[in-house]
Structure 1
Amino acid sequence: MIANITKGRKAVGALIYDFGPGRRDEHINPRIVAGNVTGTPLQVARAIDHTARRRPGITAPIWRTSLSLPDEDGILPDAQWAEIATSFIADMGFTDAPWVAVRHGDDHIHLTVSRVDWAGQLLTDRWDYRRAREAADRLEQEHGLVPARERFRAEGPQVRNNELEAAKRRGRGPDADADRPPEREELRRLVREVRDASRGLGRAAFESGLADVGVNVRANVASTGRMNGYSFTLEGWTDGSGEQVWVAASKVARDLRWAQLKTVIGDDPDFAVAKKNAPLSKDVSTSVEATSSEEHPALSTDPAARILAQWRAKAAGQEVPAETLPAPEPESAPAWTDRRRRPHGALATDSIPAEIKAARRQISTWQGEMETARSNARTWDGMATGAVTGPRVRELHQLAAKVEAARPHIEAEVTARKDRVAAETAADAARKIWREANGRKDLGWLELRKLGTSRKAEEKRAAVSS
């Protein structure tokens, strides 16, 4: 079972597609087989969208997936599809959200779900692809279906729908008059045949064999000269703009990647032939022993000769001389007096005393301010407790007594003002509800139903708000 997940904004378009003619496969007898929303398809879609609109900040609140089966599983009845859909929704955690399952073919169904549940809570779609795969695996085992993991052990990327449609227009594919597979599948077969025929013969033989069977090849070599792999194409395989379509080897088949391909055909044809014909007799070991370390082929400046000699020495059981590495030249360390190397930019040893002096002056200033604040606090405490006397202190205490006597009146005025503001706010809200309800009373029943209300409910709202 394969679960193909998509996400969108509205369920109306999804249900219109499910109950429409279809774009690729003809939709036969579209019908709802499961779900928790009832009504006509359009009513179901609107109910799902109505719930999704409760969270307007979500850009894609509609979650869609198609559950498809291979031909080996046969045609399941609607009741079994309903059971599968219900279990799948439960495994995904969407039971409390409005959802519906539509079937319009023999081998698959479409599930449309709102990620906003009936209570207005947003349901997470985190790791939904992995959760869908796990749910599908469990349903395959429970219903005795063919496991998708066994069916889709892809030997290479599969031909997708858009590529298959383009191949049909070029006269290829299963429905074409001539029995010609799509280009990607034909490339996979031809390149594998040439690979097997060129086993151990090197890149030149492999590329020549591809040219003989009509496959154009392009080597992908990095700027450093390293071989990264091949790209293939067939004559006449072009895109909509007329450009030749080149496909990387890894996109044709996994076993045609360069890491696997070079082990079959051989990275270097000369090295492969030398390895095949390399003698492993005593003469070789004797010649290896007789050669001095200064003249040893394993230390040659020629990379190919050095690698071949090292391999022969290892095959003969001889120790390969170690290469002498040139001694690195000592790097001159810049002097500490260099301003770019000093810590904290330009701060150096000669600047530290000045920084210390400035810090001490700042500390002295802070200490003076702290003593002034303490003196002011002692004075204010004496005035508040009556320890400090004088005409201004007596005036201050008299003013404080007046404020204390007026406090209940001030608090009562503040409370009354808050009550007036709350009453005005409530009256404005009631007026707004009355105007809305009074205007809806004269609407038709269909428009009131679209708004989720009725004439009786609006008359009651108008009476209550009035």
Structure 2
Amino acid sequence: MYPRVHKRHSRVVGLLHYLYGPGKTAEAHTDPHIVASFDDFTPDPGRDPTVTPGRLARILDVPVKQAGDRAPNRHVWHLSIRAAPEDRHLTDDEWAHIARRVLAATGIDPHGDQNGCRWVAVRHADDHIHIAATLVNADLTPVHPYRDGTKAQTECRRIEKELGLRRIAPGDGTAAKPATAPEVHKAQRAQRTTTPRDELRTRVRTAIAYAADPPTFLRALRDLGVDVHTREGPSGDTLGYKVALPGDTNASGEQIWFAGRTLAPDLSWPRILERLTTPTRRAEAPAGRPDLAATDPWDRTAAHLDQLAPFLQETDGTGTSGSRVPDPVVAGHIAAVGHLLDALPPATAPIAGTDRRALAAAAKAYERASRSRIKAAHRQADALRSTVRELAHHATGTGDGALADIVASSILVVVAISRWYAARDLGQQARAAARTAEHLRAAYRTIAPPALARLTPDSPSPDTTARYADHARTVLGPRADTITTDPAWPALTAALHHAAGQGHPPLQLLHQAVAQRELDTADNPTEVLTWRIQRLARQIPYNPRTAAARTRTSRHTRPATTTPPALTRATARDTTHHSR
């Protein structure tokens, strides 16, 4: 169930007219009626035609009138509770039970004995109810609910378990504020697909991915078509900012501004400054990982993702070295992955055939997964973040193959992130990461096939293909049969053959690609190996002498045997041709 505390008002009659009215165009009200009230004898405008919402309002307002100046100015408390789409149909009695439980938990009517606030629970649809209450007790003392939204959420989690309803992941207070109903209706009238709040949140996050420091962040916002206003202190330092969409005005014609913190908790100015650091000097690549020092930021990004996945793989947070990876370090890298997903939709504009809508949907879904109560150590992820900044400013020169490589690696990473969150009972973030993986898979299904199709015609001769199959059996053992019978196997052999022509020993290259990280969680290991081999091959300059030697070898190669050669013998055969 989804409880939501709405903005307080000063007139309960207006709320009642809405609850008993026809409703909005997007959600018409059906059979509005009271399912529970403070005394269970309250007259119901939905069942008695002689009772009006005004009469019901006067009954609820009795303590407010008697309290006089002691009553709160905004004394109308409004809560809606909506069932999950998967939940069964709830009866009026069940909704009445739910209403009383939540009112007791929030302190509106703690004992249910008519000494609390006056209230009614109105049902005008199958899947939700509204509770209207006036915040004055029967003894005329005012009620000031504290953390009522959190308390309502907690009680609903208990009710879900007791009634066998869908268990909603508890929140941790880090979710972005959703668009209000007036904002949604305004966007619908303007025939906009998103509200200004959501659109600004997306553009601010994209600007962060492009920026290296505060000035470039503000400049990137303006380049993205956002109006920006900053607040400076006496020293001239920027203390805050607010953003608006051009032409987005209220009824008075005034532009509507949003402070960063009202868009999302991690978009406040202090939180943004934590991430906008000077790019670190590129570190030298470790042995066996030349792609981590690639000049092309697209290749380097994919390499960083491959390196990130292993220490996310195990849900206890232990990396491949066996040492404990602190949660803040992991959280910093999780945030950096969000920068990558925010940067991909605009950065892939030059690549024809890219499903940018799926990439944008992935970035939007991941927004919830990018933050939690775990404080992120952003500086620990400087290498990935600085690489993403370079990627955002450089269109890929290696085409959709490099993009497919990044998307395939991103899928593995966000799946590992989902499991990492699930192990820490952060259900909302875990589900958001899982949804992100689905959107990335949808994007991958449009990106990968054309790239693979362009490789397939360059597949080598049958004899050379058989030799590459021997290499696969040597490196992968029994799993090789899955690789060599996959529809993407011709593309993989073409990638190996092209790399061999540039001076790469195919067996060593295949061994290196497999060793980068495990393949068990990959949706298609053959395609993942194809992208890795292409990426690794781009890191070594073209060698004409070695290429000529490999061309002669491919022409006169012996037919492959059914028994795979030993690793040392196959390596010696490749290096012999390499040294000619």
TM-score with structure 2 length normalisation?
Answer: 0.38
Structure of greater relative contact order (alpha carbons < 8 Å, 6+ residues apart): 2
Which has the greater radius of gyration? 1
Please, what TM-score do these two structures have when normalized by structure 1? 0.46
